[in-house]
């Protein structure tokens, strides 16, 4: 996986401290601390109902926090109305003004800010070019496709040169091809403008593709925040491990140590090793994680640093460029493996194979306070 280019410097532009949001008796956001770095593209990723929109609304000024503080450029903003926060906003269905042309829609945020007419004309022209809608200025929203409307919404959010742009599932209503196209455009726009962007999605591949950093939301909390590759390679919790990418997750118990590794035993009696971590201690109940692509079918002698298990093929799924092989590993349980198409195709249910993996590719996660 290639790391996304980071233009962020380490200075936070926004600081949320102990921010909570309670609706009646329901705590939507518990106590959230977050720094948003100047210039970064940061994504809130999480399942529906995990608190992404609520957090974004508090940042943009459409919801007031129940408690806690929000600072932007060192100023407390949590009680400022939205239009005084200098934040551009794009929503999934952010209604453009239907009776106005595209040009009028884009002029509006500049007019309310008292920008001179010549300057408005110039900036509207530039914004239309930036979102590739140069010829569409005189149309009304209803005469545009969904993707074009979202481009206008984006142009309207950037046109007053806000310090921060927040986008709540802006591509969620678009079909896959268009969505991927606009992801690429959004990334290019972020590179060109250098403006800090806060993006919300429940789609992990969209988050990985776009972001410098991703904050993974679960039940009103941020479970982990990091670069896409940090989250993929070193998930901190079983939730993050299961939400980002595919994972074999096996319940086991640490039964010993060997050098820098821990030995984990599964209910079926077999053991596997993985690198130890600070918190690891004997008798700890763990989730043992193996990415499907880190497993391979062994055809030759065992390699140093590798471990093997014997397994029975339950099913194979042909996917063109690869095969997914579902296995029952002796004394361990269900494993899913990605094999290259030729390698996996010869297999049939019932076949017995040797599965090999490096010790380094295993990752143990604590189950102590996270039984999801």
Residues contributing to the site for Mg ion (CB under 5 A)? 53
Tokens 């508090």 belong to residue: 58
Q: Are strands 352-358 and 296-297 parallel, antiparallel or unpaired?
A: antiparallel
Residue number with CB closer to ligand ADP (213 or 291) = 213
* Interatomic CA distance for residues 102 and 295, integer angstroms: 53
Q: Which is nearer to ligand ADP, 55 or 237 (CB)?
A: 55
Instruction: Tell me how far CA of residue 219 lies from CA of 23, 43, 48, 67, in angstroms.
Output: 14, 16, 9, 18
Nearer to ligand ADP, 28 or 186 (CB): 28
Minimum distance of ligand ADP from residue 47's CB (angstroms):
7
Q: Write down the least CB distance from residue 23 to ligand ADP, Å.
A: 3
What whole-number distance in Å separates Cα of residue 193 and Cα of residue 151? 15
Least Cβ distance, residue 87 to Mg ion (angstroms): 17
- From residue 134, alpha-carbon distances to 89, 131, 155, 347, 349 in Å are 22, 8, 11, 55, 57
Structure tokens at 292: 């499907």
Beta carbon nearer to Mg ion, 64 or 317: 64
Nearest residue to Mg ion, by Cβ distance, number only: 53
- Cα–Cα distance between 246 and 213 in angstroms, integer? 19
Sign of CA dihedral 47, 48, 50, 52: positive
**Smallest gap, in angstroms, from Cβ of residue 284 to Mg ion?**
35
309 binds, among Mg ion, ligand ADP, none (CB under 5 to 8 A by kind): none
Residue nearer to ligand ADP on the CB measure, 54 or 107 = 54
> What is the rounded distance in angstroms from the CA atom of residue 278 to the CA atom of residue 76?
37
Q: Closest separation between CB of residue 220 and Mg ion, Å?
A: 12
Torsion of CA 156, 195, 69, 167, to 10 degrees: 50
- What the block records as the tokens of 347 is 């297999």
190 binds, among ligand ADP, Mg ion, none (CB under 5 to 8 A by kind): none
Minimum distance from residue 174 beta carbon to Mg ion (Å): 16
Query: Do residues 272 and 348 lie in contact, with contact meaning Cβ atoms separated by under 8 Å?
Result: no
Alpha carbon distance 242, 247 (integer Å): 6
Dihedral sign, CA of 196, 201, 207, 210? Answer: negative
Of the pair 53, 107, the CB lying nearest Mg ion is at: 53
- The rounded radius of gyration (Å) of the Cα atoms in the chain is 25
- Based on CB atoms, which residue is closest to Mg ion, 57 or 337? 57
Residues that bind ligand ADP in the complex, under the rule CB under 6 A: 23, 26, 28, 46, 48-54
CA distance 169 to 183: 11
Report the residue number, 53 or 316, with the smaller CB distance to Mg ion: 53
- When CB distances are held under 5 to 8 angstroms depending on the partner's kind, the choice from ligand ADP, Mg ion, none that residue 28 binds is ligand ADP
Q: For the CB of residue 29, give the shortest distance to ligand ADP in the complex, in Å.
A: 8
Q: Least distance from C-beta 187 to ligand ADP, angstroms?
A: 22
What does 51 bind: Mg ion, ligand ADP, none (CB cut-off 5 to 8 Å by kind)? Answer: ligand ADP
Query: Using CA atoms, how far apart are residues 149 and 60, in angstroms rounded to an integer?
Result: 21
Q: Which does 26 bind (CB under 5 to 8 A by kind): Mg ion, ligand ADP, none?
A: ligand ADP
Cβ 34 vs Cβ 213: under 8 Å: no
Identify the three-state secondary structure at position 322. Answer: strand
Shortest distance in whole angstroms from residue 49 CB to ligand ADP: 4
In terms of CB distance, is 4 or 55 closer to Mg ion? 55
- Residue 49 interaction partner, one of ligand ADP, Mg ion, none, beta carbon < 5-8 Å per kind: ligand ADP
Interacting partner of 264 out of ligand ADP, Mg ion, none (Cβ under 5 to 8 A depending on kind): none
């Amino acid at each position: 996986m290639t790391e996304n280019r980071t233009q962020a410097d380490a200075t936070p532009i926004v600081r949320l401290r102990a921010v909570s949001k309670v609706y009646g008796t329901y705590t939507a956001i518990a106590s959230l601390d977050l720094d948003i770095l100047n210039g970064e593209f940061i994504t809130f990723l999480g399942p529906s109902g995990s608190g992404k929109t609520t957090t974004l609304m508090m940042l943009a000024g459409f919801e007031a926090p129940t408690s806690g503080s929000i600072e932007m450029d060192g100023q407390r903003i949590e009680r400022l109305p939205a239009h005084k926060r200098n934040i551009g906003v794009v929503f999934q269905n952010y209604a453009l003004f239907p009776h106005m042309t595209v040009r009028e829609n884009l002029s509006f945020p500049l007019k309310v800010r008292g920008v001179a007419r010549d300057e408005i004309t110039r900036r509207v022209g530039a914004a239309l070019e930036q979102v590739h809608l140069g010829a569409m200025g005189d149309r009304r929203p209803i005469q545009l496709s969904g993707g074009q409307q979202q481009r206008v919404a984006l142009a309207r959010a950037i046109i007053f040169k806000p310090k921060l742009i927040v986008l709540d599932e802006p591509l969620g209503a678009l079909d896959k091809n268009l969505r991927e196209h606009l992801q690429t455009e959004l990334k290019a726009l972020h590179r060109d403008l250098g403006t800090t962007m806060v993006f919300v999605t429940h789609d992990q591949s969209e988050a990985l593709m776009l972001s410098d950093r991703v904050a993974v939301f679960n039940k009103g909390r941020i479970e982990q925040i990091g670069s896409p590759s940090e989250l993929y390679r070193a998930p901190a919790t079983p939730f993050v491990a299961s939400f980002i990418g595919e994972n074999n997750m096996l319940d086991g118990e640490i039964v010993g140590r060997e050098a820098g590794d821990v030995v984990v035993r599964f209910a079926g009696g077999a053991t596997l090793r993985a690198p130890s971590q600070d918190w690891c201690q004997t008798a700890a109940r763990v989730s043992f994680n193996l990415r499907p692509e880190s497993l391979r079918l062994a055809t030759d002698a065992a390699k140093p640093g590798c471990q093997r298990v014997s397994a029975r093929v339950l099913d194979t799924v042909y996917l063109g460029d690869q095969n997914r092989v579902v296995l029952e590993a002796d004394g361990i349980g269900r494993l899913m493996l990605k094999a290259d198409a030729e390698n996996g195709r010869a297999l049939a249910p019932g076949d017995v194979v040797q599965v090999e993996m490096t010790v380094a590719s295993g990752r143990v996660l604590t189950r102590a306070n996270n039984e999801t």
